[in-house]
Amino acid sequence: MKPRQIVSIAMLSAVIALTACKEETKKDTETENKSMSENILLQEWDGPYGGVPAFDKMKVEDVKQAMETGMALGLKDIETIANNTEAPTFENTIVAMERAGKTLNRVYAYNGILSSNMSSPKYRAVESELAPKLSEYRSKISQNSKLFQRIKAVYDASKKTPLEADQQRVVDLTYKRFEMNGAELNEEKKARYAAINKELSSLYTTFSNNVLHDEENYITYLTKDQLGGLSEGFMKSAAKIATDNGQDGKYAITNTRSSMDPFLTYSTERELRKQVWTNYYSRGDNNDEYDNKEGIAQILKLRRERVRLLGYDNYAEWRLQDRMAKTPENAIHLMEAVWPAAIARVSEEVADMQAVADKNGDDITIAPWDYRFYAEKVRKQKYDLDSDEVKQYLQLDKLTQALFYTAGRLFNYEFKPVAEGSVPVFHEDVKVWEVTDKDSGQHIGLWYLDPFARPGKQSGAWATTYRSHTTFDGKKNVLASNNSNFVKPAPGEAVLVSWDDAETFFHEFGHALHFFSSNVKYPTLNGGVRDYTEFQSQLLERWLSTDEVINQFLVHNKTGEPIPTTLVAKIKKAATFNQGFGTTEYLASALMDMKLHLANPENMDVATFERETLAELNMPKELPMRHRTPHFGHVFSGEGYATAYYGYMWADVLTSDASEAFKEAPGGFYDKEIADKLVKYLFAPRNSMDPAEAYRKFRGRDAKIEALMKDRGFPITNE
């Protein structure tokens, strides 16, 4: 006879609790599955080309749920890795991490569009709510002790028995990322570190939204009698924008660079130039509820506090340790080597402009809102070169074809427009091309182009990916995009751009080519070192001025006639014109970025610091920084370029030096041997090898500053 079974109350409670837990888990799973099936942002991408985002179906209402579900699934992936009972290995820890968070990555593609290309007050409210939650999500990963111990175990083992080169690079980068983000802190410091990140995430979002507010709300409307000096095409476009904004019969100068720049260059209305200039350079600095100065002071304090938890003296020291520059001192040394020549050139440029103004009897002293206007007059006088005349040969459609030609010659790519409607887009202005290898026909990816400015779109130009190349789980084709803010023309008119804007168009396409040419196995290796990844894009700018591009794609928008050789000669002769302005406005921002992060942020008055720092630098009063501190989005809307804006100059040293390799080659800029080395060592590896090593493989030596100084027409020092 079996003994009598007695079920205690405790045992019974445990059974009931376990049953309830299982039911709750079942409900959670059912809810999760329901979310996945109903929320388009969570669903796997289907359709052609290995699946594409359903941009035409995305809704702001779906963002919050999608992001929260994506984060929950991502953390579930991480917990599975962290709690694996098997000994840590490259496969079960590092590779598993490379696979984690796929759902959230898909959601990010949609979120990026709604943030950068299609923002709205409704979305911004959601974005503000999500920012601290995303920060908490990242902290839960970077501060997961069990996960980090597994990463460290793999890292330590690899130092004794090295892995294959690409595997070792992934391990090193992963370990360094966790180490730099507080994985080895004690629990008290980890909690503070996470709290700082959470607060910063909200400050970054507020900063961006404040700038966007000022861009959308400070529009200058002109009447017919205020259009002196402006081109017919610009006036038609300004009229359309005004009409679209409910100001029929007027002309709108929007608060973006693409509208501001040509207006300041050509408008004969000096007071209006001052107004437009003031609107643009006062973004985030209007002493109202959208002012960014107090937010910046708080960002600087929090950044310093956070890195001091890790034992660093300042943010710049922490940030630059894994960049090419390595230290703030190295970055500053480069900038200060160029700065004296730049401001000396500004003095020469201002003297030339003042002479023109005096000769015309204008009775003015050159002010910042006069610089572009009189520089254009000097250009005509010195080089007989009219920027508006050049612009007639720079059509966006033709320049796009020039991009494709360059990619075909250097990378063997072919771009074919996809059938309208076959690939979903988020706006009617967006066009899509399929990218294939010209010889094999192999599909490389899709290129999306969103060219025009509009309300809700961040200013400037940028490149991004919706899906990056990898091969470790089967080949993934690239979905890359370029985004610009060209002023949309009136119906039937060609989109004409300046030479500077054409260079920027090539620059951003360089980023896209960097994405497409990736030949890495693991997603982490698709990242980049900030002061190196700008190099590839800056280098591509050089192909705009090659004879092959000029002779084929620079044709007059009305007559179709090729650009005259005499005009081309003037463009090349004037290549170093206004380099004082261009170099100084950029370097002032880069130096300010670095000095802000090296200074003691306690009780900092941002406006006073900016003013006093510029005075110490002997900043010419006739021009501003390219990005004044209150709207310096590169640095204060996130951390990608914080203490790294110098990187454009660092990259330009590489660019100028690499250009010399093409100039010396038998085939010039289309030399097959040099082009193959360009792709093999400078584009395809992405971050799978140390950038300095990659450059040496391409050039046979380190880059030298002399080529940069020569390109800008500055005297070469013996330093």
Q: What does the pLDDT look like over 311-332, one tens digit per residue?
A: 999 999 999 999 999 999 999 9
Burial degree of 67 (CB within 10 A; 0-12, 13-18, 19+) = buried
Rounded Cα distance between 103 and 681, Å, is: 32
Rounded Cα distance between 342 and 197, Å, is: 37
Mean local confidence (pLDDT), 638-663: 95
Helix (H) or strand (E) holding 413: strand 413-417
How does residue 694 score in pLDDT terms, banded at 50, 70 and 90? very high
- Within 10 angstroms of residue 450's Cβ, the number of other Cβ atoms is 22
Rounded Cα distance between 14 and 9, Å, is: 9
Q: What values do phi and psi take at 149, rounded to 5?
A: -60, -35
pLDDT, averaged across the chain: 93
Rounded Cα distance between 97 and 74, Å, is: 10
Average the pLDDT over each of 16-25, 430-439, 678-687 and give the range with the smallest value.
16-25
Mean local confidence (pLDDT), 11-32: 46
Mean local confidence (pLDDT), 376-380: 96
pTM (global) more than 0.75: yes
- pLDDT of 25 higher than 80: no
The DSSP secondary structure of 29-87, one letter per residue, reads HHHHHHHHHH-GGGSPPBSSTT-B--GGG--GGGHHHHHHHHHHHHHHHHHHHHT--SP
Rounded Cα distance between 170 and 690, Å, is: 12
**Side chain identity, residue 500:** D
Domains of the chain, earliest start first:
33-142+144-184 (1.10.1370.40), 218-281 (no CATH), 396-521+529-556 (1.10.1370.40)
- pLDDT of 29 higher than 90: no
Token reading at 367: 């002010």
Mean local confidence (pLDDT), 691-700: 96
Q: What does the pLDDT look like over 142-192, one tens digit per residue?
A: 999 999 999 999 999 999 999 999 999 999 999 999 999 999 999 999 999
| Neighbouring residues of 424: CB distance < 8 A, sequence distance ≥ 6 | 47, 52, 53, 54, 55, 56, 57
Q: What does the pLDDT look like over 545-576, one tens digit per residue?
A: 999 999 999 999 999 999 999 999 999 999 99
Three-point CA angle 595, 484, 402, nearest 5°: 115
Q: Please give the pLDDT value at position 718.
A: 54
Task: With both helix axes pointing from N to C terminus, report the angle between 579-598 and 647-664 in degrees, rounded to the nearest 10.
Answer: 140
3-state secondary structure of 604: coil
Q: Please give the pLDDT value at position 719.
A: 47
Helical ranges in 665-715 per DSSP H: 672-677, 691-699, 706-711
Rounded Cα distance between 648 and 673, Å, is: 27
How does residue 475 score in pLDDT terms, banded at 50, 70 and 90? confident
Token reading at 559: 């007559």
Q: Please give the pLDDT value at position 528.
A: 84
Q: What does the pLDDT look like over 236-293, one tens digit per residue?
A: 999 999 999 999 999 999 999 989 999 999 999 999 999 999 999 999 999 999 999 9
Q: Please give the pLDDT value at position 474.
A: 82
Exposure pattern of 273-306 as b/e (b: 16+ CB <10 Å)? beebbebbbbbbbbeeebbbbebbbebbbbbbeb
Q: Please give the pLDDT value at position 506.
A: 98
Q: How many residues in total does the chain contain?
A: 719
- Within 10 angstroms of residue 558's Cβ, the number of other Cβ atoms is 8
Token reading at 714: 């500055």
**Does residue 625 contact residue 300 with C-beta atoms inside 8 Å?**
no
